[in-house]
Amino acid sequence: MRFPRASGILLHPTSLPGAFGIGDFGSEARAFVDFLAEAGQSYWQILPVSPTGYGNSPYSALSAFAGNTLLISPGLLVADGLIDGERLGADRQDNHSHADFGFAYEWKRKTLRDAFSAFSADSDSPLVEEFHYFRRENSWWLDDYALYRAITHDRDHQPWFEWPDELRRSDPEALTFVRSELNREIETEQFSQYLFYRQWLNLKNYANERGIKIIGDIPIFVALDSADVWCNQDKFKLNADGTPRVVAGTPPDSFSSTGQRWGNPIYDWEAMMRDNFGWWTARMAHSLRTLDIVRLDHFIGFVRNWEVPGDQPTAANGQWQDVPGRELFYILRDRIGDLPVIVEDLGEMTPAVESLRDDLGFPGMRILNYAFGGDAASRDLPHSYVQSCVAYTGTHDNDTTAGWYKSAPKHVKDHCKTYLGISGRDIHWGMIRAASASIADTVIIPAQDLLGLGSEARMNKPATTDGNWSWRLREDELNAGLAIQLREVTQLYGR
């Protein structure tokens, strides 16, 4: 699918300013949409907004269908009459440059419980009918997810594969008993999911009305400790006790002699095919109801996976296994129609991956931070781009452009300056202009690069667990002057 010539900004909602630990879907999110519109942008790209587990990574989620309720705006809860406005003044924090996920989790969990209590006590609430409709329409994933979260909380966050056998195997009699015992917790989670999607879809509509489309993200894998794996154990390569027979990763290379062991369970693709990819169809359809465009993470994994035995401590002893990605996407297209999809085609590309991407008409990615230091044949240099691609200065996994340039070897800096025709000062604007001037249909700039921030603002450092996903904007950093500057570049290059 081809996209019009346009550009946008990558900023995860948790990175928005705010007074309650992390960014949310409230007034600051709308202010960011207004900034995008003023700056002449067409896209807001976000990372996955699924509920996160240990480490707060949006790429290791507890569900492929549920939303991260930490993103619910307290201010909008006040507007809906679900909590007292005085509470916001008493509990607010000063805005910080980094997210406080611990505070956000504890405060939002208590606040959402109180919101549900207020809702339950008001039979005349205008939200009653809407909530019951949401629960009916989403029961196919919501009931299982809410039960999973209720059991998890009741068992002090114990992963599902360590639950008693009758719960781990979803024995009907055991689950009936648990639903009765944990009914209040289950309904609270269902109501919290309703609030998440109510606020998110209202924000998405606000953006769409102002000419801004949302690009979201679908990680190829799900976490082992997730509602998806617990409820679909026959669709994953698991042992009888629920532990993974094989896990995902990458083979040894010049960067790592033992490869990367990601630890995600791997789909039983034969079982998925026998089911005509029902789970994947539901996942894609659900995503396209809540997003305008989907970015598919690790597209290579739809052609082949590096499967590592689950009992191996490293990825060195894995092996490649073919994946029926072509069959999957043909079925998705037949059932859903045109797929507005961008694919992350980074890493070890093969002719089979390129063929699948091009046959499906999915634009791939080009990363300017990867372009310099080699020769003129680099696929990431702007003169090598094709129209049907998405150009980034960097992604959430890269250092910021300023941070990258500061630490780059001299020959890389020299190549970059010569190619861009710049002195190296304000390197971020040199890169933004180069991406914007390119033939690529779509250009996405991380907010950190727009601001020229250094490595302290990096969002994620792969293969590490500390300090990731926590960077946040400060209030008024994205100001009117910056919007004018970005609009001028955008108009100059016809975006």
What lies within 8 Å, CB to CB, of 435 at 6+ separation is 368, 382, 391, 392, 393, 443, 445
Q: Count the helices and strands in the chain (H runs, E runs).
A: 19, 12
Q: Considering the candidates 297, 327, 414, 477, report the single residue annotated as catalytic.
A: 297
Helix (H) or strand (E) holding 480: helix 480-492
Q: How many Cβ atoms sit within 10 Å of the Cβ of residue 492?
A: 11
Active site residue 144: no
Active site residue 476: no
CA neighbor of 144 nearest in space, from 267, 48, 62, 264: 62
Q: Considering the candidates 144, 185, 189, 344, report the single residue annotated as catalytic.
A: 344
Helix (H) or strand (E) holding 320: strand 319-322
Q: Considering the candidates 100, 275, 397, 477, report the single residue annotated as catalytic.
A: 397
CA neighbor of 18 nearest in space, from 90, 104, 120, 87: 104
Helix 183-209 × helix 27-38 angle, to 10°: 20
Helix (H) or strand (E) holding 142: helix 139-154
Question: Please, what's the b/e burial string for 205-233 (b: 16 or more CB within 10 A of its CB; e: otherwise)?
Answer: eebeeeebbbbbbbbbbbbbbbbbbbbbb
Side chain identity, residue 61: A
Pairing relation of β-strands 213-218 and 6-10?
Answer: unpaired
CA neighbor of 193 nearest in space, from 296, 283, 67: 67
Find residue 275's DSSP bridge partners: none
CA neighbor of 70 nearest in space, from 101, 28, 32: 101
DSSP 226-262: SHHHHHTGGGB-B-TTS-BSEEEEE---SS-TT-EEE
| Spatial contact of 427 and 416, defined as CB atoms under 8 Å apart | yes
d(CA 302, CA 324): 7
Active site residue 297: yes
Q: How many Cβ atoms sit within 10 Å of the Cβ of residue 95?
A: 16
The structure tokens 């904007």 sit at: 473
List active site positions. 297, 344, 397
